[in-house]
């Protein structure tokens, strides 16, 4: 045994051992409980960053812990390999996205392997492989058949200079990131998946997921946004035709307060009104330059223009003017909203700005309505009642809504309706590096009209993406590839064109967890093995995926179930949402108005008097750089920290231990490497202790009947700490598991030379190594073998049983209780561990400190918390 801790040698040897013995190969086995431990697969951006280390260490700790507790564990890994960064890299370096992606995968895989994760690499997949994305295409066709997939128009960001569609991320303050051109909204056709057909089930099934964090379920429920309201119409006559303008509201009780109606710029009424109205036409045009992002819509200045068209109030017949509002979304609901300025904050501001009438129709006793400013209670639907509303006066929210809905129904102008905030999932992307949508456009020729859009027949799948394209930022390169583009129509056999849009990469990540279970199957998307492993017993990933990825995966699972592929309703039984690892962000505007990011090591910080960072300068060119605060480590913001140097300098175990020790998993973590030294020092001490006590431990002496008190106390500390550590593992709070291991070592190092020391040390160190092994598997593996702690010679530590505290070791005759007088800590009282309430009260009252602070007053009340404290109230 080496005297010094050499992580490099230990780790390589352990990894070779696990590899050669197939320690983490998972085989379906119905005799054991299964544990499918799944971490979100990474996007192969180039290098791992600390967020990955955190994510995958959490997964590995759980996987190894369960393995030691007798579970049949599956922990797979793969690559979310399609996506925008590969195209950006291609633009920059002229390397095909495929090559860039595979090079990154090779490097990152080697990084993952050097961290010693217990992964079953035999199930590895990459979503850019035709054998994977074939099944995206296959299920898309099934959805098309079932009416879940359909075509409609979508609104995209259009860069008029590059003639290309931009991702939201590529739009900086309304301009294209590379060209600086003002981005336009453009409507183009695209394919949608009708996730709204599953809205009710996706919402209701949240109750079947007790293993999910409440906050994630709340976010998903709010995102789905089921609302009970009324859909109704404002009748009007225009160009000699009787028409209806439909709107939806959850505040039908305020219908009598409607003073105008607002429609989206793209609404047919707006288009009609713009004819012969240049000012309105110009405004509608201006709206088209706005952002498509909800956050921008919500924060931008609300603007509008009257159309001159009037509609009739459905109940009073009063004329109400139609306005065009830049804040009304065409793609959501009816593209029109009723405006009740008195009781809606946004309408209130809008009405004040344009001098529109405000009519109070809800009253709250004791409150006075004033037009001076918005007050929260104006929008309160809990406690107000209708006023100035004719026959509805005096009715509260529910009754007023019922009555008004009934009256609208009687007039055939509306009814109650349940609506969702959730929108259907648009999956078309006008990009190259993604899964081709398996459709063919048969446009016909001079003689025949053609077959239209035709699905690619199953036997022709996959539609393979050519891998040698190099995007240059100006549109989809597939459009310039006749070999991909030209094909024959499967229906009529005439020349036709392939669809060049690819799928949203969220499609790829919506079912990869099922594919791991069916690795290697080239005749089916998933097979019976998926029914064995699913749902994943633990899913671990960043909180940023709380809504979209997790909702899409839940949806996709339900579709796979309905197609007969799976039995499960839900993909993930338990979810751990990891807190983001944050780092400083530095950026600078480019000449063209785009944005350029700087890595933290590329800038020199500028701080103010109080030490806060206010800016930075580029080390390369000395120019000023803007400080963007702290944010998630990401490739695009260039603020990721590569764990490589940490691993090289201290080893994987130190990196893993440090990451787990730094904070509890769900908490956001601002990156700092302060403390890495401490983690390393601890592992060195563990090794040194094993080395120094080798003979005592190897001797395997038995515990004497009665230990001297000092050793009994060491043993008590070990078992008490183990109890806490096991409890914390159950809570997935790994930082205190790490500190439990540290406490154990502190206790063991204090074990005095006395009869029974060797046995106490051997037992204690065996517990310490097993508790620590999921976090730092390499050093524990090596020490376990060196010290012969296995049941049989050469048994690996992961085959050892998980340690449980021995109650007998925890027994104490006397305990200290906290003594309080009027809730203030005044000392401690020592009592027998089994003391009853009366004797505790007696001991407390006679205590010197109690006497002193009671100042002779009689006790009014004595609170005794068993095993904890006694509080005397005077």
Partner RNA sequence: GCCGGGGUGGUGAAAUUGGUAGACACAAGGGACUUAAAAUCCCUCGGCUUUACGGCUGUACGGGUUCGAUUCCCGUCCCCGGCACCA
Ranges within 728-787 binding RNA (CB under 7 A)? 728, 731, 733, 735-736, 738-739, 742-743, 745-746, 749
Q: Interface with RNA includes 286 (CB under 7 A)?
A: no
- Closest approach, Cβ 645 to RNA, in A, equals 17
Task: Give 431 or 558: the residue with its C-beta nearer to RNA.
Answer: 431
> Of 19-27, 154-162, 239-247, 797-805, which segment contacts RNA by CB under 7 A?
154-162
Q: Can you read off the two tokens belonging to residue 342?
A: 């008195």
Instruction: Report the site for RNA in 215-254 (rule: CB under 7 A).
Output: 215, 218-219, 222-223, 225
Q: Interface with RNA includes 630 (CB under 7 A)?
A: yes
Q: Can you read off the two tokens belonging to residue 151?
A: 């075509």
Task: Give 557 or 639: the residue with its C-beta nearer to RNA.
Answer: 639
Distance CA 650, CA 644 (A): 10
Q: Interface with RNA includes 343 (CB under 7 A)?
A: no
Instruction: Report the site for RNA in 191-220 (rule: CB under 7 A).
Output: 214-215, 218-219
Q: Can you read off the two tokens belonging to residue 299?
A: 């924060």
Q: Which of 55, 101, 104, 157 binds RNA (CB under 7 A)?
A: 157
> In whole angstroms, how large is the CA radius of gyration of the chain?
34
Alpha carbon separation from 146 to 134, 427, 459, 502, 810 (Å, rounded): 19, 17, 19, 21, 63
Strands (E) in 250-368, as ranges, are: 260-263, 304-312, 319-325, 336-339, 362-363
Q: Interface with RNA includes 636 (CB under 7 A)?
A: yes
> Of 53-61, 107-115, 516-524, 819-827, which segment contacts RNA by CB under 7 A?
819-827
Task: Give me the DSSP letters along 222-251.
Answer: HHH--EEEEEEEEEEEETTEEEEEEEEES-
Task: Give 315 or 625: the residue with its C-beta nearer to RNA.
Answer: 625
Task: Give 138 or 658: the residue with its C-beta nearer to RNA.
Answer: 658
- Closest approach, Cβ 794 to RNA, in A, equals 31
Q: Residue count at the site for RNA (CB under 7 A)? A: 103
Q: Which of 672, 839, 846, 851 binds RNA (CB under 7 A)?
A: 672
Q: Which of 3, 147, 276, 295 binds RNA (CB under 7 A)?
A: 295
Task: Give 312 or 821: the residue with its C-beta nearer to RNA.
Answer: 821
Q: Interface with RNA includes 100 (CB under 7 A)?
A: no
Tell how strand 575-578 and strand 538-542 pair up. Answer: parallel
Q: Interface with RNA includes 505 (CB under 7 A)?
A: yes
Task: Give me the DSSP letters along 626-688.
Answer: EEEEEEE--TTTT----THHHHHHH-HHHHHHHHHHHS-TTS-EE---TTHHHHHHHHHHHHH
Q: Interface with RNA includes 377 (CB under 7 A)?
A: no
Helix (H) or strand (E) holding 873: strand 869-873
- Closest approach, Cβ 273 to RNA, in A, equals 27
Distance CA 608, CA 619 (A): 19
- Closest approach, Cβ 542 to RNA, in A, equals 7
Q: Interface with RNA includes 576 (CB under 7 A)?
A: no
Instruction: Report the site for RNA in 158-177 (rule: CB under 7 A).
Output: 165-169
Task: Give 504 or 570: the residue with its C-beta nearer to RNA.
Answer: 504
Instruction: Report the site for RNA in 102-141 (rule: CB under 7 A).
Output: none
Instruction: Report the site for RNA in 676-715 (rule: CB under 7 A).
Output: 677-679, 681-682, 684-685
- Closest approach, Cβ 733 to RNA, in A, equals 6
> Of 76-84, 599-607, 802-810, 837-845, which segment contacts RNA by CB under 7 A?
76-84
* 217-232 as b/e: b if 16+ CB within 10 A: bebbeebbeeeebbbb
Tell the residue number behind the tokens 């094909």, with chain if given: 487
Tell how strand 425-426 and strand 34-39 pair up. Answer: unpaired
Q: Which of 509, 568, 574, 773 binds RNA (CB under 7 A)?
A: 509
DSSP type of residue 331: T
Decide: 65 and 86 in contact? Cβ < 8 Å.
no
> Of 93-101, 281-289, 528-536, 725-733, which segment contacts RNA by CB under 7 A?
725-733
Give the distance, in angstroms, between the CA of residue 659 and the centroid of all CA atoms in the same chain: 19
Q: Can you read off the two tokens belonging to residue 701?
A: 């002496």
Instruction: Report the site for RNA in 34-53 (rule: CB under 7 A).
Output: 43
Nearest C-alpha neighbor of 150 from the set 158, 140, 160: 140
């Amino acid at each position: 045994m080496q005297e010094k801790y050499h992580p490099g040698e230990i780790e390589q040897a352990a990894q070779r051992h696990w590899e050669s013995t197939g320690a983490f190969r998972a085989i379906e086995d119905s005799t054991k409980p299964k544990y499918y431990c799944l971490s979100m697969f990474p996007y192969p951006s180039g290098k791992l960053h600390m967020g990955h280390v955190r994510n995958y260490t959490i997964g590995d700790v759980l996987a190894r812990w369960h393995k030691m507790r007798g579970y049949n564990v599956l922990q797979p890994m793969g690559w979310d390999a399609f996506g925008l960064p590969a195209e950006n890299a291609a633009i920059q370096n002229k390397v095909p996205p495929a090559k860039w992606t595979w090079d990154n995968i090779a490097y990152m895989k080697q990084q993952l392997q050097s961290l010693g994760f217990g992964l079953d690499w035999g199930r590895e997949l990459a979503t850019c492989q035709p054998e994977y994305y074939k099944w995206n295409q296959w299920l898309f066709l099934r959805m098309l058949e079932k009416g879940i997939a359909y075509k409609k128009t979508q609104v995209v960001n259009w860069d008029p200079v590059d003639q290309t569609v931009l991702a939201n991320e590529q739009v900086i303050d309304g301009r294209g990131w590379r060209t600086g051109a003002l981005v336009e909204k453009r409507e183009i056709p695209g394919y949608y998946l009708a996730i709204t057909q599953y809205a009710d089930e996706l919402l209701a099934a949240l109750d079947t997921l007790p293993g999910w964090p409440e906050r994630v379920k709340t976010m998903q429920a709010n995102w789905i946004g089921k609302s009970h309201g009324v859909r109704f119409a404002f009748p009007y006559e225009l160009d000699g035709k009787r028409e209806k303008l439909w709107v939806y509201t959850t505040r039908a009780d305020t219908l009598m307060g409607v003073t105008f109606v607002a429609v989206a710029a793209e609404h047919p009424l707006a288009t009609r009104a713009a004819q012969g109205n240049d000012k309105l036409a110009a405004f509608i045009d201006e709206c088209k330059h706005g952002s498509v992002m909800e956050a921008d819509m919500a924060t931008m200045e609300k603007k509008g223009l009257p159309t001159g068209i009037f509609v009739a109030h459905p109940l009073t017949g009063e004329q109400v003017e139609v306005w065009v509002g830049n804040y009304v979304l065409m793609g959501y609901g009816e593209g029109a909203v009723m405006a009740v300025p008195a009781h809606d904050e946004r309408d209130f501001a809008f009405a004040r700005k344009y001098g529109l009438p405000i009519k109070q129709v809800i009253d709250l006793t004791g409150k006075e309505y004033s037009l001076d400013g918005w007050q929260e209670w104006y929008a309160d639907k809990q406690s107000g009642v209708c006023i100035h509303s004719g026959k509805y006066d005096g009715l509260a929210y529910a009754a007023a809504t019922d009555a008004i809905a009934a009256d609208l129904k009687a007039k055939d102008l509306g009814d109650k309706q349940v609506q969702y905030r959730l929108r259907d999932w648009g999956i078309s992307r006008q990009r190259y590096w993604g899964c081709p949508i398996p459709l063919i456009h048969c446009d016909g020729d001079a003689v025949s009209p053609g077959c239209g859009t035709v699905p690619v027949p199953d036997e022709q799948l996959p539609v393979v993406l050519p891998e040698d394209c190099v995007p240059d930022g100006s549109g989809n390169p597939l459009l310039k590839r006749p070999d991909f583009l030209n094909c024959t129509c499967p229906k009529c056999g005439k020349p036709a064109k392939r669809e060049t849009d690819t799928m949203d990469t969220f499609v790829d990540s919506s079912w990869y967890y099922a594919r791991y279970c069916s690795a290697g199957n080239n005749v089916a998307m998933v097979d019976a093995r998926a029914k064995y492993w699913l749902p994943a017993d633990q899913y671990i990933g960043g909180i940023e995926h709380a809504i979209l990825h997790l909702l899409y995966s839940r949806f996709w699972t339900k579709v796979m179930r309905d197609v007969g592929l799976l039995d499960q309703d839900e993909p993930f039984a338990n979810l751990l949402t990891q807190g983001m690892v944050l780092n400083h962000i530095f950026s600078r505007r480019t000449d063209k108005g785009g944005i350029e990011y700087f890595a933290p090591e590329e800038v020199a910080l500028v701080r103010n008097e109080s030490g806060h960072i206010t800016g930075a300068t580029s080390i390369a060119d000395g120019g000023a750089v803007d400080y963007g605060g702290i944010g998630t480590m990401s490739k695009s913001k260039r603020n990721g920290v590569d764990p490589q140097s940490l691993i090289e300098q201290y080893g994987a175990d130190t990196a893993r231990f440090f990451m787990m020790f730094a904070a509890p998993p769900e908490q956001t973590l601002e990156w700092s490497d302060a403390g890495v030294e401490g983690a390393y020092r601890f592992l060195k001490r563990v090794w040194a202790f094993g080395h120094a006590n080798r003979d005592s431990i190897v001797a395997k002496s038995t515990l004497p009947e009665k230990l001297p008190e000092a050793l009994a106390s060491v043993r008590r500390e070990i078992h008490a700490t183990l109890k806490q550590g096991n409890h914390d593992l159950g809570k997935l709070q790994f930082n205190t598991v790490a500190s439990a291991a540290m406490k154990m070592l502190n206790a063991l190092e204090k074990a005095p030379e006395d009869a029974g020391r060797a046995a106490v040390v051997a037992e204690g160190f065996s517990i310490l190594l097993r508790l620590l092994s999921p976090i730092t598997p390499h050093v524990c593996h090596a020490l376990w073998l060196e010290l012969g702690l296995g049941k049989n010679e050469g048994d690996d530590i992961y085959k050892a049983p998980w340690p449980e505290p021995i109650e007998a070791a925890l027994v104490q005759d006397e305990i200290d209780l906290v003594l309080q007088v009027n809730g203030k800590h005044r000392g401690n009282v020592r009592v027998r561990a089994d003391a009853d309430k009366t004797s505790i009260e007696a001991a407390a009252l006679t205590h010197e400190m109690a006497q002193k602070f009671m100042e002779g007053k009689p006790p009014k009340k004595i609170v005794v918390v068993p095993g904890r404290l006694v509080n005397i109230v005077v």
